[in-house]
Structure 1
Amino acid sequence: MRDDNGRNTIIFVVVTAIFLIGYQMLVLGPQAERRKAAQQAQREASAAAAVTPDGAPSATGEPGAASTTAPRPVVVDRRQALATDALTGRGSERVIIRTPTLSGSLSLIGARVDDLYLTRYRETIAADSQPVELFRPQGMNHAYQALFGWTGANVAGGVPGPTTPWRLTEGSTLTPTTPVTLTWDNGAGLRFTRRISVDDRYVFTVRDTVANFGAAPITLRPWGRVERLGVPADLGKQQILHEGAIGTFSDDGSGYTTTQLKYGAWVKKPIEETESVGGWLGITDKYWLAALIPGQDERIDAGFRIRDGATYDTYSATMQGAERTVSPGMQITHEQRLFAGAKVNDVLTAYEKELGLPRFVYAIDWGFLFFLTRPILIVLDFFYGILGNVGLAILALTVCIKILLFPLANKAYESLSKMRNLQPKMEEIKKKHGGDAQKQQQELMALYQREKINPLAGCVPILIQIPVFYALYKVLFVTIEVRHAPFFGWIRDLSARDPSNIWNLFGLIPWDPASAPVIGGLLVGALGLGVLAIVYGFTMWLQQAMNPPPPDPVQKQIFAFLPFVFTFIMAPFAAGLLVYWIWNNVLSILQQYVIMHRFKAPNPIDGFIDKHIRKKAT
């Protein structure tokens, strides 16, 4: 019966490994290739006849009539979309945006911020890669923009909206030192003046002044909206990552809660209405955020909506302020802000303090282990400031974690060393009670008690490191501080998988396995081992070899098989995670080796030295 159970266990482990590899080959691999192809096609469409990100072509023409109807998207290149407004079909005059972190333009039709690049970040690690695009104008595939306006019942002459023909009256280029002023007169006694400014990071300030030259009071409500036409194919596919709607709200302005709505859930529940005093809301991607920021003492109505379109559904995060009455001969002023940029921890933290924003740093998806994830990033950032390399910062972080766990690990390795020395006695018990498993177990427990050994002590450091491992994985996956961070040699992006591959002899053969349409893609996706994965597997095997072997032969076979399985499991993970785990294993091996020497316990390192080095020397 025992042999049957052993064979069944081994078969189960092997079948599970085959299933994991097959799932990677046949499902995850092709999905990743499709997402990559869709993303590339999107970038090519965006770049077709592209303008440089430092500016945008301008065209003059008669402004179109006001309309709030969402257009049927027409896929055009960027130059055409910037020159001709897709909502009105008229020429689009534009104001250039140029800051240390942003470039692009805003349209005078609707005063829409709809053309924006993040100049400090690139799409890929290639030297000629383009800056990251955040917003794109109407008419392009998956248009993305921010706009502001007013609503009012029965207002003669209308109120500003997405197609309002604003006139530039002050300034020419929007920079941190030169705001621009726009005006629009509705022809019926209302004059709207909009002053737009931008800081040297990622926040736009939109300050509207409404003057009433008529004979009757007018009641208005301000609004702001961030909207995206459809969801690009590469967004919302990761279970570990939140992409979609996000906002922080409070009914009374005291306690704030953060709401997250992934794209899949957003489709199922398209309208989320809430009242809030202050807070913020918007649309988040993995590394980028577009968020509306009201005055923190203002009561707003906030919502996440989906409007059906002819080609794309429009996903929007919308806020509407309180009613304001403008008496004849009087004017009112209202201010709201837009964050449009990268989710950098230090930047979000600074805005939290400067603008009094609640939980703004939680625009980063820290996960349920946020109490570990964020401190890990802070420590990494600290060491990066000293060492100047994220990979070295990961090594330093690993040393810190090992120091914190040193007392526990020491006790665990002492227990394992004692168990290693007890192997002869354990073998005697197995021979003496070979046919009685229960008696054998009782004798082993009695032996452990006499020698004051806890057989489970070796598991404690591993169990404690599991949440640390997950938190570091989260940091490497979602934080922009690690994005495109190089290490040394062939590792140019610690947030991506190891680019080396066993199928081209780690770069010795001038052939990219991923270029093979089917076979190469499968090999790279499921069986493509890089240098880091192989080194990780070896260090896992060596560390395991230093532990006392399990008394059960079936368990011994399973444990011997695990380093091989985990080598393939870990291969697709971020290179930074493998760097951490390899270095952690090396430090653990050194610590365990010292303790085993102290207890004079046999270990494979000394065995190797005796067999291959000392023997040859004599």
Structure 2
Amino acid sequence: MSQPQKPQFDTKNMIMAVALSMLIVFGWQYYYAGPAAKKAQEATQTQETVQATIATDGAGQVKDRASLIAATKRVKIDTPDLAGSINLTGALLDDLELPKYHETIDDKSPVVTLLSPSGAPNAYFVEQGFVPKPGSTIKVPDSKTEWQVEGAPTLTTSTPVTLTWDNGEGLKFAREISISDNYLFTVKQTVTNSGTAPVDLIPYGRAQRQDTPQVAGYWVFYEGPLGVQNGGLEEHKYAALKKDPDVPATVPSKGGWLGFTDKYWAAMLIPDQETNYAASYRFVKIPGRDAYQTDFLATAPITVPAGGSATYEDHVYAGAKIVSVINSIFEKFKFAHFDLMIDWGWFAPITKFMFYLVSFVHSIVGNFGVAILVVTLLVKLAVFPLANRSYASMSKMKNLKPQMDAIKEKYPDDKMKQQQETMALYKEAKVNPMAGCLPIFVQIPVFFSLYKVILTTIELRHAPFFGWIHDLSAPDPTTLFNLFGLIPWTPPHALMIGFWPLLMGITMWVQMRLNPTPPDPIQQQMFNWMPVIFTFSLGTFPAGLVIYWAWSNTLSILQQSYIMKKHGTELNLFGNIKDSIPFLKKKPAAT
């Protein structure tokens, strides 16, 4: 029997395989990996260049805002919505006030300050410009460049201003700044090249805040670095950026915007929407201070031809987050998801609907508090059929109380049997014990949406109601514990239970007395204490929300009382009250 032949080693094939593999490796390195690495290296060098060019200025010593403004040459800003100036040193937008808004409800209080120069307390400014390509020695304007004014000396809605600077090497930079749409700055940067060779320049923009801003602390809306890149929302909290200072959050994108948002105000960089760029959110440590920065850097340069010019245009939004203004800007410029500058929350469609409904009613009645009352009534009418079925079911349950008491007496020690017999009784009477929860579940999104509207939208900021309610977005300023101002004493914050929270608690308590008494004693105690807990917890909520809840409870009491009377259910509210208070509760007669 012949032995099987061993396979022979084919040297020729092995050499060809090794050569082919090397060809593939070197080809991939030459045509893909090499260019990719070079591109990444250039991007890194560009980032380093832009950071050096737009180096964070500001010494550790904090200086007075007014003195910093007075120490520099400036171009005045004067519009119905904005007041301030542009710093000719660096062409920085670093002095901006909002004359239509005051710090408090007192019109004599200071107007809201949005932007302040670098080095001032809570400094906050915006800068735009160009950086050269890595390795280039072209002189470009930076944060210390002294610009000159051409034409109009004041920036208004009808008169733009033009700033110029000549680098002395054949490049002249001109920056035309105009204001439209209330708070929108349009910045048109033109570079003229009188030299003999083309020049590549990379556009950038940055918004910086020095010192950690104090956020309101509400979980219901976001404050901090914010943007939209690639159609998605970017939120980077101050604490998160500070925790990892060496790794900025960088997102490549085309279109969108980025900057900082506060509860009512925002300053946003809006790059050219057709330009690819890298958006960065970063923490910056400067001598003696913390700083936070959002910036964008174009990924491709613009070329200024020899003997020609090139233009780059972008925008800055700096001002109040007014819904109608933001919507009109979106309609005009189509900035991606520009409405997300306002945090509409989890129930965004409902929240927007509630805002527009409240605003529409306000345009008719002229008072946001009255508008909230009217909208509450409209919501009640919308859920009227569902609420009627719910209250009818609860009335039937209330009428079954004698039979339920009999079941307890029949099976005093058998909880399981009590539940079985009770459910059988419900089934026989065609009663749904969960029906009473349906109107509550329906109104929870409405409640939170209205909460967002009152707390977040600037339209309700300092909006008055009647009497002592001068700001629907602030808590009721009165308190039960100083007899609503009769006693000259300011109680602790936890005891600030004003008239409207107290009225809300009373109406909630009355409404719960109309509902069937829970069979479980623990549930009974929970129901008895719930109005008290809600009164204290909502005492610090915006007055507009508490007014909504108190009015909603009142409408529910009227509706539920009517349904109960229609089904022959005895109201006997006073008896229910006595039964809910331990020392007034009727004791069983002695046998």
* Same fold, judged at TM 0.5 (above): yes
**Aligned letter for 1:166?**
W
Quick one: distance in 1 between partners of 2:353 and 2:489? 38
Per the alignment, residue 452 of structure 1 pairs with 430
- 1:193 has 2:171 as partner: no
**TM superposition score normalised by structure 2:** 0.85
Contact 2:57 2:118 in 1 (8 A): no
Out of 190, 203, 208, which is 1:222 matched to? 203
**TM superposition score normalised by structure 1:** 0.82
Pairwise CA distance, 1:368? 1.7
Pairwise CA distance, 1:453? 0.5
Inter-CA distance 284–540: structure 2 relative to 1 (3 Å threshold): same
**Aligned letter for 1:413?**
Y
Quick one: distance in 2 between partners of 1:512 and 1:382? 40
Quick one: distance in 2 between partners of 1:454 and 1:358? 48
**Aligned letter for 1:259?**
E
Contact 1:281 1:292 in 2 (8 A): yes
Structure 2 counterparts to residues 300-379 of structure 1, below 5 A: 300-321=277-298, 322-379=300-357
Contact 1:543 1:589 in 2 (8 A): yes
- 1:170 has 2:145 as partner: no
Pairwise CA distance, 1:563? 1.4
**Aligned letter for 1:158?**
K
Per the alignment, residue 71 of structure 1 pairs with 58
Pairwise CA distance, 1:307? 1.8
Structure 2 counterparts to residues 234-273 of structure 1, below 5 A: 234-235=214-215, 237-250=217-230, 256-270=231-245, 271-273=248-250
- 1:105 has 2:80 as partner: no
Inter-CA distance 455–185: structure 2 relative to 1 (3 Å threshold): same
Per the alignment, residue 360 of structure 2 pairs with 382
Contact 1:100 1:200 in 2 (8 A): no
Pairwise CA distance, 1:236? 6.2
Per the alignment, residue 274 of structure 1 pairs with 251
Per the alignment, residue 461 of structure 2 pairs with 483
**Aligned letter for 1:388?**
G
Quick one: distance in 1 between partners of 2:335 and 2:305? 32
Contact 1:236 1:262 in 2 (8 A): no
The farther-off stretch of 311-320 and 204-213 is: 311-320
- 1:188-222 C-alpha deviation (Å, 9 max, x unpaired): 11101111111150011111110111122211111
Out of 442, 447, 454, which is 1:464 matched to? 442
Per the alignment, residue 144 of structure 1 pairs with 124
Out of 272, 276, 289, which is 1:299 matched to? 276
Contact 1:380 1:394 in 2 (8 A): yes
**Aligned letter for 2:340?**
Y
Quick one: distance in 2 between partners of 1:370 and 1:447? 42
Contact 1:212 1:327 in 2 (8 A): yes
Contact 1:227 1:317 in 2 (8 A): yes
Quick one: distance in 1 between partners of 2:240 and 2:273? 28
The farther-off stretch of 592-601 and 270-279 is: 270-279
Quick one: distance in 2 between partners of 1:177 and 1:417? 67
Structure 2 counterparts to residues 37-48 of structure 1, below 5 A: none
**Aligned letter for 1:122?**
H
Quick one: distance in 2 between partners of 1:184 and 1:295? 22
Pairwise CA distance, 1:432? 1.8
Contact 1:236 1:244 in 2 (8 A): no
Pairwise CA distance, 1:115? 0.4
Per the alignment, residue 3 of structure 1 pairs with none
Pairwise CA distance, 1:138? 2.0
- 1:395 has 2:373 as partner: yes
**Aligned letter for 2:391?**
Y
Per the alignment, residue 429 of structure 1 pairs with 407
Per the alignment, residue 502 of structure 2 pairs with 534
- 1:539-587 C-alpha deviation (Å, 9 max, x unpaired): 0110011111112233223311221222111111111110110011001
Quick one: distance in 1 between partners of 2:362 and 2:56? 49
Quick one: distance in 2 between partners of 1:211 and 1:606? 86
Contact 1:74 1:141 in 2 (8 A): no
Quick one: distance in 1 between partners of 2:317 and 2:469? 33
- 1:411-454 C-alpha deviation (Å, 9 max, x unpaired): 11001111111112222222122222222222211111111111
DSSP 3-state at the match of 1:162 = coil
DSSP 3-state at the match of 1:341 = strand
Pairwise CA distance, 1:69? 5.1
Inter-CA distance 67–487: structure 2 relative to 1 (3 Å threshold): closer
Out of 259, 265, 289, which is 2:266 matched to? 289
Structure 2 counterparts to residues 20-169 of structure 1, below 5 A: 68=55, 70-84=57-71, 92-153=72-133, 155-156=136-137, 158-169=139-150
Quick one: distance in 2 between partners of 1:112 and 1:283? 17
Contact 2:513 2:573 in 1 (8 A): no
Contact 1:540 1:585 in 2 (8 A): yes
Quick one: distance in 1 between partners of 2:501 and 2:278? 51
**Aligned letter for 1:411?**
R
Contact 2:267 2:316 in 1 (8 A): yes
**Aligned letter for 2:240?**
A
Contact 1:147 1:225 in 2 (8 A): yes
Quick one: distance in 1 between partners of 2:441 and 2:572? 24
How many residue pairs were aligned?
Answer: 521
Quick one: distance in 2 between partners of 1:240 and 1:69? 33
DSSP 3-state at the match of 1:458 = helix
Out of 539, 542, 563, which is 1:574 matched to? 542
Contact 2:181 2:325 in 1 (8 A): no
Pairwise CA distance, 1:605? 4.9
**Aligned letter for 1:263?**
Y
Inter-CA distance 67–370: structure 2 relative to 1 (3 Å threshold): closer
State the Cα RMSD in Å.
1.8
Contact 2:132 2:138 in 1 (8 A): no
Flag structure 1 segments of 5+ consecutive residues without an equivalent. Answer: 1-65, 85-91, 251-255, 514-519, 609-618
**Aligned letter for 2:158?**
T
- 1:319-338 C-alpha deviation (Å, 9 max, x unpaired): 12230121210110111110
Pairwise CA distance, 1:145? 0.5
**Aligned letter for 1:136?**
S
DSSP 3-state at the match of 1:586 = helix
- 1:558 has 2:526 as partner: yes
Structure 2 counterparts to residues 410-425 of structure 1, below 5 A: 410-425=388-403
- 1:244-287 C-alpha deviation (Å, 9 max, x unpaired): 1111112xxxxx11111121222234511122111111111111
Quick one: distance in 2 between partners of 1:215 and 1:512? 78
Contact 1:103 1:119 in 2 (8 A): yes
Contact 1:104 1:116 in 2 (8 A): yes
DSSP 3-state at the match of 2:483 = helix
Pairwise CA distance, 1:384? 1.1
Contact 1:73 1:138 in 2 (8 A): no
Pairwise CA distance, 1:456? 1.2
Contact 1:304 1:318 in 2 (8 A): yes
Work out the percentage of aligned pairs sharing the same amino acid. 45
Per the alignment, residue 41 of structure 2 pairs with none
Inter-CA distance 552–79: structure 2 relative to 1 (3 Å threshold): closer
The farther-off stretch of 155-164 and 363-372 is: 155-164
- 1:281-315 C-alpha deviation (Å, 9 max, x unpaired): 11111111100112222212211122211122221
